[in-house]
Chains A and B, each alone.
Chain A
């Protein structure tokens, strides 16, 4: 469908071919990086954002999708998923492409499902073949997650992890420390060491706490500014004190530059933590799902459902979009992602905010009512429509030029 760049330039010179491949017309653009929050048209050419402006003429585009009444945002970035499907039975990974595009996500970051021993398999079988852009936090545990080795300090080889991260710097965006049940700091220390060797951030699932291994020490002594604390509203690690107040360590950590990520998952998001946190004006930096086979059908469901939760908690829509696009892009040091900059790869989500009576479930199965639900209407990855809920980029069947098509199963 898309014309090669050279041919396109030639055609334009002749005035015969439209300048843009696809035009998203009349949508409300929210592009936090560029401070855009109003009705604009978005034109895409050769897989890149070509222009964001008011009143781009449909005659300049090969195809125009009317997205009036909808929000046009950068493709969503979910920095906490588990999409490493094992070759052998077991594991909790989900299929990336089955969950990404239908909820507006164009980039997923696997949060430590693989370690340096298993990353080559993850990369060759999954990452390289997915249509979703898959990046990864490398587990500091060489064997990776769910392998029974997550408490074994001998598996936490910072040098080996750093070597793998450097060799795969196009995909690996950080290190992960997770699920550590030991009394000490072995897992966090090794991950930070590997982070220092590579210049990459560390994401921490803080596992089990004790009197000395607590979030105050983690945020103030152990992590570096830019490191990411995920599962921030889980309440499993004294994020909320017994008094019902937010642990002051959270604000202190934020002041130091620690990044707070949702990582909803099956066991890490509770209204009784999130509501007081919002009352204390403590909002997450990034929204992420912690997608895996045990979270997908429970309270989590998908990225837009998790975003809707924070919208209903009181974050304005443009902030929710920021937490799902530009903020996570910066957190993983991929500033080319998460915006609609002209020239950026055209990863775009078209979202609708439905009004009605909705309910949202936390990890304990407790309900909170809400009046707004974010629904994904369209997703574009590198300028191609990869999801189109209501056929907005399609033509009416009665006038559609049905041609002889090659047979697909």
Chain B
């Protein structure tokens, strides 16, 4: 491992010269830090699906226009042929890694977010209940505060969070009040309450989660656990959940999402009319073609697309956010619809309306995607394959207006145009990867 600290400083003079050059030549007139030029913008909130220039200043969207004068920008990136979308919002991940606890989503079953997010165009994730009120502070200190990704969280109704069946089936540790108090203490960071994996026949986990959600005025996300006739899906979505609550793993087929005749359970349509939200939550066990394909044909589309990323899902059918989005493309959804369900829809579901859009003034979280054409295959969690002719890949990701991933170096200068033994080439106003080292006082 080697960073630039502690390496020899032969290039110090060159570096200083470059800084002076950048400051004197560009600072004066640039109105924008970065201009994304000529891409096809898909912004569901603002109902844009057309070629637009996007200008960024001070980490915020500054202008979205048919043409913006490139002379007004410090850095111009040509994105012709690519799609420019709000930074993707994945509301179902497990990223409470690092506790060392085995067999636990508050531990070794989780992944660290930054290795999966930016390279797949994701700028915001919501952890889906890996932590509860007893260990949220630890999660925050170890992961949330140290990640470059914007990490939000559904708080598990179980005080110990997702530490395994022993904890997650303990009805005595599902207290609404402390969960709601923790959520209110971290308003905006804790964006919902999660109930998950419950194996018993009681409604207690759902009821307490809804109680906590009501106290804290945030939605509940439900992984409905083991299927029980005592607590049928139809009752959950038509009676127990409130409008705005989220049913995840909707294409799992594990809890009668598809009825015996092979059709979507009518209760799901009814619940959708009530305002209950349906989320993908692909994961390692929750997405089957035999459920999803007929559901899409019947017009039962997901409100939000999410991964349920964890160590058991990351290398299987899931892979990453764009792979899951591509699955919906090849099932027939339009790209605009897929992007809406991965940006503006989930942002609204978690009450973060400043995210998931490219409105002027919004944080400049941006994904630049390529729609590849070819022969591709997509596996579900059982290892069954659906062939498709398109796949989304991520070319460029910006978080708060700064480049955090650049697959094909489209923001970078050609090496043979630079001074010999060049060092850092970026500018901290638009670049979070290769900015010159901060000047020391």
Contacts and interface: CB of A to CB of B under 8 A. Distances in A.
Judged by DSSP, the binding face of B is: loop
Interface in A378-409: 386-397, 400, 402, 405, 407-409
B28 interface: no
A395 B382 CA distance: 10
B421 A272 contact: yes
Given A102-B319, A267-B2, A272-B421, A365 B8 contact: no
B245 interface: no
Contact of A402 (B111, B283, B376, B382): B382
Given A237-B8, A400-B384, A408-B285, A364 B1 contact: no
Nearest to B102: A129
Given A234-B2, A364-B424, A407-B285, A400 B114 contact: no
B121 interface: no
B182 interface: no
B425 A294 contact: no
A178 B319 CA distance: 34
A92 interface: yes
B409 A367 contact: yes
A94 B418 CA distance: 32
Interface stretch (A48-56, A320-328, A339-347, A353-361): A353-361
A290 B1 contact: yes
A229 B176 CA distance: 58
B233 to A, nearest CB: 15
Nearest to B117: A297
Interface string B13-42: 000000000000000000000000000000
Contacts, number: 219
Given A95-B112, A95-B115, A396 B406 contact: no
Interface string B373-393: 001111111111111000000
A409 B312 contact: yes
A298 B409 contact: no
A98 B116 contact: yes
Contacts of A28: none
B434 to A, nearest CB: 3
A267 B3 contact: yes
A266 B2 CA distance: 6
A265 B102 contact: no
A295 B405 CA distance: 11
A391 B387 CA distance: 9
Given A92-B1, A407-B285, A364 B378 contact: no
B97 A95 contact: yes
Nearest to B314: A98
A407 B1 contact: no
Contact of B288 (A89, A235, A293, A402): A402
Given A366-B412, A391-B378, A89 B141 contact: yes
Nearest to A207: B6
B7 A208 contact: yes
Given A98-B314, A397-B385, A366 B414 contact: yes
B2 A365 contact: no
Given A389-B319, A391-B377, A368 B415 contact: yes
Given A205-B2, A397-B384, 5 more contacts: A95-B311, A234-B2, A295-B1, A360-B408, A409-B310
Interface of B: 1-4, 6-8, 97-98, 100, 102, 105, 108, 111-112, 114-116, 118-119, 141-142, 146, 196-197, 223, 226, 254, 283-286, 288-290, 293, 308, 310-312, 314-315, 319, 375-387, 404-410, 412-416, 418, 420-426, 431, 433-434
Interface of A: 82, 85-87, 89, 92, 94-95, 97-99, 101-102, 111, 113, 125, 129, 145-146, 178-179, 181, 205, 207-209, 231, 234-237, 240, 244, 263, 265-268, 270-272, 275, 290, 292-299, 301, 357-369, 386-397, 400, 402, 405, 407-409
**Which 3 residue pairs spanning A and B have beta carbons closest together?**
A365-B434, A359-B409, A408-B285
28 contacts: A87-B98, A89-B142, A98-B111, A178-B2, A205-B2, A231-B2, A296-B114, A297-B404, A298-B434, A299-B433, A357-B408, A359-B412, A360-B408, A363-B434, A365-B425, A367-B409, A367-B415, A390-B376, A390-B377, A391-B383, A392-B377, A394-B377, A395-B383, A395-B385, A397-B386, A402-B288, A402-B382, A409-B285
